Amino acid sequence: MGLLRIGDNAPDFNVDGFFQGKVTKCSLASCKGKWLVLFFYPADFTFICPTEVTGFSKMAKAFADEAAMIFGASVDSIESHRSWAEELGGLEYPLLSDENKTLSRDYGVLDEKEGVALRATFIINPAGIIYYQVVSHVNVGRSVEETLRVLKALRTERLCPSDWQPGEPTGDLILKY
CATH fold of 14-156 reads: Glutaredoxin (3.40.30)
What ranges do the domains of the chain cover?
14-156
Burial of 63 (0-12, 13-18, 19+ CB in 10 A): buried
- What pLDDT digit, counting tens, does each position of 6-32 carry? 999 999 999 999 999 999 999 999 998
- Residues serving a catalytic function are 49
- What pLDDT digit, counting tens, does each position of 29-51 carry? 999 899 999 999 999 888 777 78
CA pair distance 130, 4, nearest whole angstrom: 8
